Amino acid sequence: MILTSVRKIRNKIILNFDNSEKLEIAYEVYLNSGLIKGDEVDKKKNEKLKYENEFFQAKSSAYRYLGNRNHSSFELRVKLTKKEYQKLIIEKVIEDLRAKGYVNDQKFAESFVKNRIEKRKEGIVKINSELRKKGISNEIISDVINNFTDDPIHFQNALQLARKKHQSLIKKNLDFQKLKGRLFNFLKGKGYTTEIILKVLDTVLVNESEDDIEY
């Protein structure tokens, strides 16, 4: 088929052919194609244009996602799949972004763990679970988590959270066991290990007993 006209609408190009077919592609894809009016476009060339256009669109979507925040390769794959791009194209986009350093699960995990510990004061157990949900491999999770396992910041964060929670719970006139149980479950929900929780409770409740609670 012969390309009879080329019409630009914003950042898109409408290609019209002599058999009444039309093809809409991104302006950048058109420029790279080198096509001009009067060129013959066979089936193979037509399919190539469609493939390159979908690749361009998928890659543009990925860049928009990455512009908002870092993503793991799994997160990008899920989002691009929801937009119904071909699986082969999605994998090529992710491979291309990896090669350029825009997608790196190791660095993503390191940044994620650091942020969750320092900003949200979450424990290792919860962070581990969240990384799995984001499709990070067990190997990377183990490597990254091990770098933070013995960091005293876990105890410090848990202690800070527990003291704040303790101040609000003490006003509810709970008995000692209920108070201790509430604090334990609160820290458990934040993702702290039982070992850290028990140490924190010993510190926070060191001067309290069942007889010390005021009613």
192 contacts 159 by C-beta, under 8 angstroms: no
- Identify whether 18 is part of a domain: yes
Burial 173-190, CB ≥16 within 10 A → b, else e? ebeeeebbebbbebbeeb
pTM here is 0.81
Phi, psi values for residue 193, rounded to 5°: -75, 155
What CA–CA distance (Å, rounded) separates 146 from 14?
A: 54
Q: Are residues 31 and 68 in the same domain?
A: no
- Identify whether 212 is part of a domain: no
Q: Which structure tokens are listed for 131?
A: 């990384």
Q: Are residues 82 and 98 in the same domain?
A: yes
CATH number for the domain that contains residue 179 = 1.10.10
Q: Are residues 29 and 67 in the same domain?
A: no
Q: Are residues 55 and 94 in the same domain?
A: yes
- Identify whether 11 is part of a domain: yes
- Calculate what percentage of the chain has a pLDDT beyond 90: 89
The residue with tokens 């060191």 is: 206
The reported pLDDT for the residue numbered 150 is 81
- Identify whether 215 is part of a domain: no
| Number of domains into which the chain is organized | 4
Cα separations in angstroms, 189 against 107, 124, 148, 193, 197: 26, 11, 19, 10, 11
The upper half-sphere exposure of residue 21, i.e. CA atoms within 13 Å in the direction of its Cβ, equals: 10
pLDDT digit string, tens, across residues 95-154: 999 999 999 999 999 999 999 999 999 999 999 999 999 999 999 999 999 988 888 999
Average pLDDT over every residue of 187-191: 97
pLDDT averaged over every residue in the chain: 93
Q: Are residues 95 and 59 in the same domain?
A: yes
Q: Quote the domain boundaries for residue 23.
A: 1-41
The reported pLDDT for the residue numbered 208 is 63
Nearest 5°: CA angle at 57, between 110 and 76? Answer: 25
pLDDT digit string, tens, across residues 24-62: 999 999 999 999 999 999 999 999 999 999 999 999 999
